[in-house]
Amino acid sequence: MIDINKAIESLNWQKEPRGLYEPIEYTLASGGKRLRPTLALTAAEVIINGGLINGDAIEQTLPAALALEVFHNFTLLHDDLMDRADLRRGQETVHVKWNDNTAILSGDQMLIEAYKLLSDVPADKLPKVLKWFNEMATGICEGQQLDVDFEHMNQVSIDDYMRMIELKTSVLLAYAMKIGGYIAGANEAQQEALYQYGLHIGLAFQIQDDILDVYGDPKTFGKAIGGDICCNKKTILLLTAMETTDAESKAELLQWMMASDCNEQKIAAVTEIYNRLGVREACEAVMEQHTSLALAQLDRLPQNDATERLRLLAEKLVTRKS
């Protein structure tokens, strides 16, 4: 397997003007799980020669894997600005360390850089890869807009929420799997299995992210706890609470949602309501359901060391602390 961190480090950001490229270098150097490129490369490895590494085919997948990671980090710059988030991966977000305009412009350049990387995909594979990449990008924008819209809507269902996170989070993982497998020679049935694995892993991943935003440890989570509560975000925890609570608790929850001030008292009060209603346990059950659906897709793929790593990754993602 290619060392994705070294591949990312090899990208050249020592260019002028520094005000444009330094924030990109800062963002990509901050680490992260490298989940999207890892999924793309692992999907390719599953397909190639029954999981035996074929160096040429893995190398052919690398440009798409890097494009996916740069694109993902581009979305984070703009998401953090929209959410007015102060921390990402335990360090200052770009709009805090520099300013809003820098987050916008450096993010825009990251989008361009992602497509430049994508242009190195083998020519015979590029048309379909580009089509899927664009579908993925559109889905993410649609999901982000739904997330914004939900903040101002009184009636949002859990089904609405699941569709939103499918677009905002899951399609990136799903297309990472599909693109990686396709470049390596996956047939249509294998492409679909890879896509569905990524889709359900993405849903489980985002549900765990929502849970960690309330119950995580800031030292390991990498950002402040309770941000979703402060912003009245329609997460699966809030929606589950609204759909399962009694009238008294619902009125109390709505009262806290109407409070515009974000403080520890609001976070503690809403968390206590969640605890009282067993919201965390209910959401963890949904997360485990999607993990099981993802794992079932692996039975449709060649069985090898790479497939086993995908099984282990699924289990790791739903027990992560950051």
Q: What is the pLDDT of residue 61?
A: 96
CA distance 35 to 56: 22
Q: What is the pLDDT of residue 261?
A: 77
Q: What is the pLDDT of residue 116?
A: 98
Query: Is 28 part of a structural domain of the chain?
Result: yes
Neighbours of 181 (CB within 10 A): 30
88 has which bridge partners?
A: 91
Number of domains in the chain: 1
Query: Is 163 part of a structural domain of the chain?
Result: yes
Burial of 297 (0-12, 13-18, 19+ CB in 10 A): buried
Domain harbouring 109, CATH code: 1.10.600.10
CA atoms 315, 318, 319, 320: torsion sign:
positive
CA distance 24 to 103: 9
Q: What is the pLDDT of residue 55?
A: 61
Range of the domain at 194: 4-215+291-317
Q: What is the pLDDT of residue 49?
A: 66
Query: Is 242 part of a structural domain of the chain?
Result: no
Q: How far is CA 218 from CA 77, 91, 140, in A?
A: 20, 12, 26
Nearest to 70 by CA among 104, 103, 28: 28
Query: Is 75 part of a structural domain of the chain?
Result: yes
Query: Is 226 part of a structural domain of the chain?
Result: no
Q: What is the pLDDT of residue 183?
A: 96
Write b or e for each residue in 251-261: b if 16 or more Cβ atoms lie within 10 A of its Cβ, otherwise e. ebbeeebeeee
User: What pTM does this model have?
Assistant: 0.92
CA distance 252 to 238: 13
Q: What is the pLDDT of residue 320?
A: 81
Block means of pLDDT (10 residues each) for the chain, length 322 residues? 91 97 96 93 88 73 98 96 88 97 98 98 97 98 94 91 97 98 96 98 95 87 80 92 90 87 89 95 96 97 95 88 71
CB 239 within 8 A of CB 165: no
Query: Is 273 part of a structural domain of the chain?
Result: no
Query: Is 266 part of a structural domain of the chain?
Result: no
Q: What is the pLDDT of residue 222?
A: 66
Q: What is the pLDDT of residue 54?
A: 60
Query: Is 33 part of a structural domain of the chain?
Result: yes
230 Cβ contact partners less than 8 Å away, ≥ 6 residues apart: 262, 266, 267
Q: What is the pLDDT of residue 56?
A: 81
